[in-house]
């Protein structure tokens, strides 16, 4: 299925397909794998949409990993309690075992006995299935302990990636970090990758001496893919399909999109679609593609706006219009956008930063998503 789609458009958005459609990251892949194969836990930190999750998935597909490790990818973005976390972790571990018909799989429900109720055989295929609801995790700490016991007993070392790790800080239970840390230290058979996009939250977790994860992982920061590297990748995908792409198209969009991988891929996907067979994509295509993307994102953007207070919306609009704002509480900025007091701007700003709609770099604020920024200016 995916192969057919990539035959139509090789610029994949939101999914890891294979090496062919994955741009570079060779150094980062090597570094991450080296840390993991040497038993070092890693904290992978980068702003949203630069490619942390994809990098981890890419690493997990490399033979050094597939031949020697069991790998688990757990995205905890949507979790809000320890119970949720244990649920997604159990699922990830179990799903990984599904294709295997060996003793290790059998062992799962022996060791993770608290989930035995969920063990069912599929009526049609006779295959075991994981039919557990959240509510079945009645003692999350017990199940967690069992999962770790199971991992410890595995016949290969395990790599567990916990994506959107900062989410753990929002759980109502206050001991989750300490609990995980203890298991992590006791389990000699597992190495962890913690990925997160909120730099200050991650830094607080891993760099503060009074926090459970203090000094427990090597920090690895991910930057944008280099412009030349991305240009080469994009141009060659066009050429493989009998189309061509002007280099200055890449230069221009790389600049406009700040080299953020996800936006680049969206843009290239659209530009590729707009370019007829045998034709060359030039900078003239950019405004059309840009408009198409704003159209497709329209519902999402409206939804995001609907979740903001009018003060927050006002501030967002002011930032979008200004492009980048240095002195956000200066009288001039407040007055020219009729934003009220500095303190109300501060509190609105906190929310916008927290939701990662606005980003701060060198004391300068801007809207993170350039398409969204453009959309706001056009709609409000
Ligand atoms: N190396 C890459 N080559 C091509 N596309 C990529 C690459 N890395 C990321 N992407 C694209 O960017 C999107 C965002 O990447 P993702 O890993 O989800 O970011 P993050 O986890 O940092 O928020 C992916 O859905 C994918 O479309
Ligand atoms: Mg991610």
Give the CA distances from residue 184 to residues 45, 86, 367, in Å, rounded to whole numbers and listed in that order: 20, 14, 37
Q: What distance in Å separates the CA atoms of residue 240 and residue 226, rounded to the nearest whole number?
A: 21
Which of 262, 266, 267, 268 to probe ligand 1 with, by most ligand atoms within 8 A of CB? 262
CA of 340 to the centre of ligand 1 (A): 39
Query: What's the pLDDT at 127?
Result: 72
Q: What distance in Å separates the CA atoms of residue 176 and residue 81, rounded to the nearest whole number?
A: 9
Query: What's the pLDDT at 135?
Result: 81
* Ligand whose nearest atom lies closest to the CA of 21: 1
Query: What's the pLDDT at 3?
Result: 58
Q: Establish whether residue 22 lines the binding site of ligand 1, counting it when its CB lies within 6 angstroms of any ligand atom.
A: yes
Q: What distance in Å separates the CA atoms of residue 53 and residue 262, rounded to the nearest whole number?
A: 11
Query: What's the pLDDT at 63?
Result: 96
Within the chain, which residues score under 50 in pLDDT? 1-2
* Ligand whose nearest atom lies closest to the CA of 52: 1
Tokens (6 digits) for 179? 């609990």
Query: What's the pLDDT at 133?
Result: 81
In the chain, DSSP finds a helix count (H) and a strand count (E) of 17, 11
44 bridge partner residues: 195, 220
Q: What distance in Å separates the CA atoms of residue 322 and residue 325, rounded to the nearest whole number?
A: 6
Q: What distance in Å separates the CA atoms of residue 216 and residue 211, rounded to the nearest whole number?
A: 10
Nearest-CA residue for atom 5 of ligand 1: 22
Helices (DSSP H) in 162-285: which residue ranges?
Answer: 176-186, 199-207, 227-240, 247-256, 261-274
What is the enclosing helix (H) or strand (E) of 219? Answer: strand 218-221
* Ligand whose nearest atom lies closest to the CA of 14: 1
Q: What distance in Å separates the CA atoms of residue 53 and residue 75, rounded to the nearest whole number?
A: 9
Q: Establish whether residue 198 lines the binding site of ligand 1, counting it when its CB lies within 6 angstroms of any ligand atom.
A: no
Q: For the packed helices 82-97 and 140-152, what is the interaxial angle rounded to 10 degrees?
A: 30
Tokens (6 digits) for 219? 């920090």
Q: How many angstroms separate the most distant Cα atoms in the chain? A: 70
Q: Establish whether residue 50 lines the binding site of ligand 1, counting it when its CB lies within 6 angstroms of any ligand atom.
A: yes
Q: Smallest Cα–Cα separation from 120: which of 109, 110, 131?
A: 131
Q: Establish whether residue 35 lines the binding site of ligand 1, counting it when its CB lies within 6 angstroms of any ligand atom.
A: no
- What count of other Cβ atoms lies within 10 Å of the Cβ of residue 219? 13
Give the CA distances from residue 310 to residues 40, 84, 268, 344, 352, in Å, rounded to whole numbers and listed in that order: 46, 33, 34, 12, 12
For residue 222, the ligand 1 atom closest to its alpha carbon is 22
Query: What's the pLDDT at 192?
Result: 97
361 bridge partner residues: 364
């Amino acid at each position: 299925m995916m192969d057919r789609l990539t035959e139509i458009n090789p610029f994949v958005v939101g999914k890891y397909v294979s090496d062919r459609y994955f741009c570079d990251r060779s150094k980062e892949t090597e570094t991450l794998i080296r840390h993991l194969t040497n038993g070092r836990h890693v904290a992978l930190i980068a702003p949203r949409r630069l490619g942390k999750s994809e990098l981890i998935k890419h690493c997990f597909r490399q033979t050094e990993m597939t031949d020697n490790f069991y790998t688990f990818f757990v995205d905890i973005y949507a979790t809000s309690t320890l119970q949720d976390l244990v649920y997604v972790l159990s699922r990830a571990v179990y799903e990984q075992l599904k294709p295997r018909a060996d003793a290790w799989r059998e062992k799962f429900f022996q060791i993770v006995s608290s989930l035995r109720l969920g063990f069912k055989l599929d009526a049609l295929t006779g295959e075991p299935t994981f039919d557990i609801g959240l509510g079945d995790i009645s003692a999350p700490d017990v199940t967690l302990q069992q999962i770790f016991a199971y991992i410890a007993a595995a016949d290969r070392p395990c790599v567990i990636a916990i994506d959107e790790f900062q989410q753990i800080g929002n759980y109502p239970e206050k001991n989750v970090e300490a609990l995980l840390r203890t298991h992590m230290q006791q389990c000699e058979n597992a190495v962890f990758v913690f990925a997160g996009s909120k730099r200050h939250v991650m830094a607080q977790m891993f760099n503060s001496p009074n926090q459970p994860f203090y000094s427990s992982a090597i920090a690895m920061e991910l930057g944008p893919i280099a412009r030349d590297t991305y240009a080469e990748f994009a141009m060659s995908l066009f050429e493989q399909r009998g189309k061509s792409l002007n280099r200055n198209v890449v230069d221009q969009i790389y600049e406009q999109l700040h080299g953020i991988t996800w936006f680049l891929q969206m843009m290239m996907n659209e530009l590729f679609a707009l370019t007829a067979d045998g034709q060359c994509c030039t900078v003239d295509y950019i405004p059309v593609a840009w408009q198409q993307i704003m159209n497709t994102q329209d519902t999402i953007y409206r939804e995001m706006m609907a979740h903001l207070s009018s003060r927050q919306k006002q501030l967002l609009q002011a930032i979008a219009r200004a492009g980048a704002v240095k002195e956000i509480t200066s009288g001039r900025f407040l007055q020219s956008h009729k934003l009220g007091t500095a303190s109300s701007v501060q509190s609105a700003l906190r929310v916008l930063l927290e939701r990662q709609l606005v980003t701060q770099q060198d004391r300068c604020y801007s809207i993170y998503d350039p398409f969204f920024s453009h959309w706001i200016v056009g709609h409000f």
